[in-house]
C-alpha cells in the first residue's frame, strides 16, 4: 500500500516537472488493487507453509494453551477433538493485537476499525479520521492522504511519533500538514455517532469541542499482547502491568523451559527483531556449546517509519544523549532537498533532514536520524556502522558517492 501511495504521489505531483505526461486524470483503483494485494499475501503464506514441509516442521492449526512447562493443549481450528503436544521447550510467540476502546469508555468506538480493518476495506474511504500518532497512525494517515483521501489525525499529545528525534518529527509533521493532512493535537475522541460499515457516515466529537463527519475512523492507539487464554497464569509465568511476558536477556521467562519472543514480550515491537531474537534463541537451545551465550542485543536497533517522507533512525535521540552524556554531546545536522526534486514545483519538493548525535572527544556516533526520500534504504548500511561503534571520523574518512542524499552523512561539518 505504501508503494502504491508513493507511486500515485509521484504520478500526480512530480512527473510533470520532468516533462513526462501521465494520463489526463490519474486514478488509483482501490477496488481492483486490493484483490491483487491480498492474492500476493496468500502466496507468501503458501510459501511459508511449504517451507515448513521442506524443513520437516510440524504445523498445528488451532488454539493453544500451556498445560505444563512441557505440554501444550491444542484445540483444532476444524473443531475436532483437542489433543496435547509434549515437548522439552515451549516458545511463546503469539504476538499482539490492535486496541479499540470499549463503548463504555468512548460511546460508539466500535464504529471504528484498526489497522487490521484497514486491510479489509473494499474501497477507498473519502474522509478518514486516524486516532493516534505512533508508527501505524502516521503510516496509514500518510498513505491515505497521498492516495487522495481527506485525512484528519487526532493526537492526545502535542506531536506525532513520541520518542523519535524531535527535529526529524518536526520536518515530517510539517510536510504532512503542507500536503493537506489535518492534525488536531491535545484532543481526545469523546464519542462517535453514525452508521457501521464502509458506507456509513460517522460523526466524531472531540474533547476540544470540534465535531466532524468521516466515512472511516481508524484507531491506532496501541497494541496489546496475546497473553490471555494461554494458561500462563496457571503456570506462574510473570507478566508486566501491560500483560507482556517478562523475559531476561536470553528470552527466558521465570519458568524453566518457557521462552518468549516478538511483540508478546513487549520489547522493540518489530518483525525483524522477532526474527533476529528467534534465530539466536534457536542457536542457543539447539546449536551446540558455541552458541551457549547467543542472545539478541536490543541496543542500536535501526528502524524505519514509512511516512511521507520516510524516517530512518538508530540509536539515541539528542534528548536521550544529553540526559545520558550531558555536555559531551555534539550535534551535526544538514537540511536540504534531494537532487531528485530539483525539477519539481516548489510546493512538491519534499524536505530532507540528516542528523548525527556524537559523544566524547572521539565523537562516537550514538544516534543517526534521517528523513527524506530514500531514508528507508539509506539507513540499513549506516545502521551497521553505528552498531560497530563508528565515529564521526570514520564517516569523514569514507568517500562520498555523488550525487546522492546519503553522501551528506559523510560530508557534514
Active site residue 402: yes
Chain centroid, CA 278 distance in Å? 19
Q: By the 8 A CB rule, do 160 and 169 touch?
A: yes
Q: By the 8 A CB rule, do 97 and 223 touch?
A: yes
Which grid cell sits at 380? Answer: 540499513
The one catalytic residue in 49, 308, 348, 402 is 402
> Half-sphere exposure (CA, 13 Å, Cβ side) for 412?
25
Could you tell me the CA-to-CA distances from 353 to 123, 170, 307, 373 in Å, in that order? 35, 10, 14, 10
Kindly give the interhelix angle for 166-178 and 135-146, rounded to the nearest 10 degrees. Answer: 30
CB burial of 150-175 (b: ≥16 within 10 Å; e: otherwise) equals bbbbbbeeeebbeebbbbbbebbbeb
Could you tell me the CA-to-CA distances from 355 to 180, 312, 322, 331, 369 in Å, in that order? 26, 11, 15, 7, 5
Q: By the 8 A CB rule, do 111 and 192 touch?
A: yes
Would you call the peptide bond into 147 cis, given omega within 30 degrees of 0 as the criterion?
A: no
The catalytic residue positions are: 402
Amino acid at each position: 500500500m505504501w508503494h502504491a501511495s508513493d507511486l500515485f504521489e509521484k504520478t500526480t505531483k512530480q512527473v510533470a516537472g520532468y516533462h513526462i505526461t501521465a494520463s489526463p486524470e490519474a486514478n488509483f483503483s482501490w477496488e481492483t488493487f486490493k484483490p491483487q494485494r491480498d492474492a500476493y499475501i496468500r502466496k507468501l503464506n503458501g510459501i511459508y507453509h511449504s517451507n515448513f514441509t521442506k524443513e520437516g516442521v510440524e504445523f498445528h492449526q488451532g488454539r493453544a494453551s500451556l498445560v505444563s512447562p512441557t505440554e501444550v493443549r491444542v484445540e483444532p481450528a476444524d473443531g475436532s477433538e483437542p489433543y496435547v503436544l509434549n515437548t522439552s521447550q515451549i516458545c511463546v510467540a503469539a504476538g499482539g493485537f490492535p486496541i479499540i476502546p470499549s463503548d463504555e469508555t468512548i460511546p460508539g468506538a466500535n464504529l471504528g476499525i484498526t489497522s487490521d480493518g484497514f486491510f479489509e476495506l473494499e474501497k477507498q474511504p473519502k474522509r478518514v479520521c486516524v486516532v493516534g500518532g505512533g508508527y501505524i497512525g502516521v503510516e496509514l494517515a500518510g498513505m491515505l492522504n497521498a492516495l487522495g483521501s481527506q485525512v484528519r489525525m487526532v493526537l492526545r499529545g502535542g506531536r506525532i511519533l513520541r520518542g523519535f528525534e524531535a527535529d526529524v518529527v518536526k520536518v515530517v509533521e510539517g510536510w504532512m500538514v503542507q500536503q493537506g493532512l489535518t492534525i488536531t493535537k491535545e484532543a481526545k475522541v469523546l464519542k462517535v455517532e453514525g452508521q457501521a460499515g464502509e458506507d456509513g457516515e460517522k460523526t466524531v466529537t472531540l474533547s476540544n469541542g470540534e465535531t466532524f463527519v468521516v466515512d472511516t475512523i481508524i484507531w491506532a492507539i496501541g497494541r496489546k499482547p496475546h497473553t490471555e487464554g494461554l494458561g500462563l497464569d496457571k503456570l506462574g509465568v510473570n507478566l508486566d502491568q501491560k500483560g507482556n511476558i517478562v523475559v531476561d536477556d536470553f528470552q527466558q521467562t521465570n519458568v524453566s523451559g518457557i521462552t518468549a519472543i516478538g511483540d508478546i514480550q513487549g520489547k522493540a515491537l518489530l518483525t525483524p527483531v522477532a526474527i533476529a531474537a528467534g534465530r539466536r534463541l534457536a542457536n542457543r537451545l539447539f546449536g551446540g556449546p558455541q552458541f551457549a551465550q547467543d542472545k539478541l542485543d536490543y541496543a542500536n536497533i535501526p528502524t524505519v517509519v514509512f511516512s511521507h517522507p520516510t524516517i530512518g533512525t538508530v540509536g539515541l535521540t539528542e534528548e536521550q544523549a544529553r540526559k545520558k552524556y550531558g555536555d559531551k554531546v555534539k550535534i551535526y545536522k544538514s537540511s536540504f532537498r534531494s537532487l531528485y526534486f530539483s525539477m519539481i514545483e516548489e510546493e512538491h519538493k519534499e524536505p530532507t533532514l540528516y542528523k548525527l548525535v556524537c559523544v566524547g572527544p572521539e565523537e562516537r556516533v550514538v544516534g543517526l536520524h534521517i528523513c527524506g526520500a530514500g531514508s528507508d534504504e539509506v539507513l540499513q548500511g549506516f545502521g551497521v556502522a553505528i552498531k560497530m561503534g563508528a565515529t564521526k571520523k570514520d564517516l569523514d574518512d569514507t568517500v562520498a558517492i555523488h550525487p546522492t542524499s546519503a553522501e551528506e552523512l559523510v560530508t557534514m561539518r
